[in-house]
Amino acid sequence: MPETASAQTIKTFCRLCEVNCGLEATVDEAQQMIALRPDKSHPVSEGFACHKGLLALEVHRDPDRLNAPIRRAKTEGSQGDFQPADWDEAIGDIAQRLKALIEEHGPESVAMYIGNPSAFNALGAVAAGIFAQALGIKRFFFAGTQDCTNKFAISEILYGSAEIHPIADLDHSDYILMMGTNPRISKMSFLSTPDPVGALRAARDRGATVRFVNPLVIDDLSDVGDTLQIRPDTDAYFLAALLCEIEATCGFDEEGLKDIGNGSSVGHVDRLRDFVRAYPADRVAGIVGLSAETIREVARGFSSASSASIHISTGVNMGQQGALAYWLTQMLCLVTGNLDRRGGNIVAARAFPGLPMAEEPALEETKWGSFRPSRGATPPGSLIADMMGDDEKPIRALLVMAGNPLLSIGGEDKMREAFANLDLLVSIDFYRNATAELADWVLPAADWFEREDLNFFVQGVQRKPYLQWTDRVVAPTHERKEDWWILSRIQQEMGLPSLFDLPGDDALMTLWNGRLEDNGYSIPALREAEGGVVLIPDTPTGQFLSHVAEAKGASTELSRVGGAGGVDSSDGDGEAGPRGGFDRCPDAMLATLERAGEIFDRLESEAENQLKLITRRTHHMLNSAFQNMKVLKTEAGSRKNPLYMNPADAASRDLQAGQRVRIRNDHGEVVAELALDPHLREGVVAMSHGFGNGRTPGMPVAQAHPGVNVNRLSPSGAGSFDPVSGMEHLTGIAVEVLAS
Residue closer to ligand SF4, measured from CB, 14 or 614: 14
Q: Is 53 in the site for ligand SF4 (CB under 6 A)?
A: yes
Stretch that binds ligand SF4, among 47-55, 140-148, 293-301, 354-362 (CB under 6 A): 47-55
| Strand 209-213, strand 424-429: pairing | unpaired
DSSP structure string for 242-253: HHHHHHHHT---
Residue closer to ligand SF4, measured from CB, 51 or 74: 51
Residue closer to ligand SF4, measured from CB, 48 or 142: 48
Stretch that binds ligand SF4, among 46-54, 100-108, 139-147, 588-596 (CB under 6 A): 46-54
Stretch that binds ligand SF4, among 9-17, 61-69, 318-326, 610-618 (CB under 6 A): 9-17
Q: Count residues near ligand SF4 (CB under 6 A).
A: 11
Exposed / middle / buried, residue 625 (Cβ in 10 Å: 0-12, 13-18, 19+):
buried
Residue closer to ligand SF4, measured from CB, 16 or 406: 16
Q: Which of residues 506-565 bind ligand SF4 (CB under 6 A)?
A: none
Choosing from 11, 12, 14, 135, the residue that interacts with ligand SF4 (CB under 6 A) is 14
Residue 113 CA to residue 125 CA, distance in Å, equals 11
CB 411 within 8 Å of CB 382: yes
Complete edge-to-edge strand list for the sheet that includes strand 441-444: 82-84, 70-72, 441-444, 424-429, 397-401, 110-114, 139-142
Choosing from 17, 208, 526, 589, the residue that interacts with ligand SF4 (CB under 6 A) is 17
Task: With both helix axes pointing from N to C terminus, report the angle between 507-517 and 122-135 in degrees, rounded to the nearest 10.
Answer: 100
Q: Is 55 in the site for ligand SF4 (CB under 6 A)?
A: no
CB 481 within 8 Å of CB 445: yes
The type of residue at 110 is V
Q: Is 200 in the site for ligand SF4 (CB under 6 A)?
A: no
For residue 357, which of 372, 345, 346 has the smallest C-alpha distance? Answer: 372
Stretch that binds ligand SF4, among 49-57, 177-185, 235-243, 284-292 (CB under 6 A): 49-57
Residue 550 CA to residue 566 CA, distance in Å, equals 7
Residue closer to ligand SF4, measured from CB, 46 or 360: 46
Shortest separation between residue 116's beta carbon and ligand SF4, angstroms: 12
Q: Is 196 in the site for ligand SF4 (CB under 6 A)?
A: no
Q: Is 193 in the site for ligand SF4 (CB under 6 A)?
A: no
- DSSP classification of residue 78: B
Shortest separation between residue 55's beta carbon and ligand SF4, angstroms: 9
Residue closer to ligand SF4, measured from CB, 53 or 690: 53
Shortest separation between residue 189's beta carbon and ligand SF4, angstroms: 11
Stretch that binds ligand SF4, among 13-21, 197-205, 532-540, 601-609 (CB under 6 A): 13-21
Q: Is 592 in the site for ligand SF4 (CB under 6 A)?
A: no
Residue closer to ligand SF4, measured from CB, 97 or 187: 187
Q: Is 228 in the site for ligand SF4 (CB under 6 A)?
A: no
Q: Is 11 in the site for ligand SF4 (CB under 6 A)?
A: no
Residue 330 CA to residue 289 CA, distance in Å, equals 23
Choosing from 11, 42, 52, 620, the residue that interacts with ligand SF4 (CB under 6 A) is 52
Q: Is 19 in the site for ligand SF4 (CB under 6 A)?
A: yes
Residue closer to ligand SF4, measured from CB, 192 or 720: 192
Shortest separation between residue 169's beta carbon and ligand SF4, angstroms: 21
Q: What is the CA radius of gyration of the chain?
A: 25
Stretch that binds ligand SF4, among 48-56, 289-297, 346-354, 551-559 (CB under 6 A): 48-56
Residue 359 CA to residue 627 CA, distance in Å, equals 41
Q: Is 60 in the site for ligand SF4 (CB under 6 A)?
A: no
For residue 25, which of 450, 446, 478, 402 has the smallest C-alpha distance? Answer: 450
For residue 161, count other CB atoms closer than 10 A to its CB: 28
Q: Is 50 in the site for ligand SF4 (CB under 6 A)?
A: yes
Stretch that binds ligand SF4, among 15-23, 358-366, 667-675, 716-724 (CB under 6 A): 15-23
Length of the chain: 740
Q: Is 385 in the site for ligand SF4 (CB under 6 A)?
A: no
Residue 483 CA to residue 388 CA, distance in Å, equals 25
Shortest separation between residue 216's beta carbon and ligand SF4, angstroms: 20
Q: Exposure string (b/e) for 53-64, b if CB count within 10 Å is 16 or more?
A: bbbbbebbebeb
CB 685 within 8 Å of CB 649: yes
Residue closer to ligand SF4, measured from CB, 326 or 448: 448
Q: Is 187 in the site for ligand SF4 (CB under 6 A)?
A: yes
For residue 139, which of 117, 121, 114 has the smallest C-alpha distance? Answer: 114
Residue closer to ligand SF4, measured from CB, 457 or 582: 457
Strands annotated E in 605-739 = 611-615, 643-645, 660-665, 668-676, 684-687, 733-739
For residue 119, which of 187, 49, 17 has the smallest C-alpha distance? Answer: 17
Site string for ligand SF4, 401-440 (x = CB under 6 A): ----------------------------------------
Choosing from 12, 20, 491, 555, the residue that interacts with ligand SF4 (CB under 6 A) is 20
Complete edge-to-edge strand list for the sheet that includes strand 33-38: 8-13, 22-27, 33-38
Site string for ligand SF4, 311-350 (x = CB under 6 A): ----------------------------------------
Site string for ligand SF4, 129-168 (x = CB under 6 A): ----------------------------------------
CB 9 within 8 Å of CB 25: yes
The type of residue at 653 is R
Shortest separation between residue 670's beta carbon and ligand SF4, angstroms: 28
Q: Is 269 in the site for ligand SF4 (CB under 6 A)?
A: no
| Strand 8-13, strand 345-346: pairing | unpaired
The type of residue at 305 is A
DSSP structure string for 431-460: S--TTGGG-SEEEEBP-GGGS-EE--TTTT
Shortest separation between residue 180's beta carbon and ligand SF4, angstroms: 18
Residues that bind ligand SF4 (CB under 6 A): 14, 16-17, 19-21, 49-50, 52-53, 187
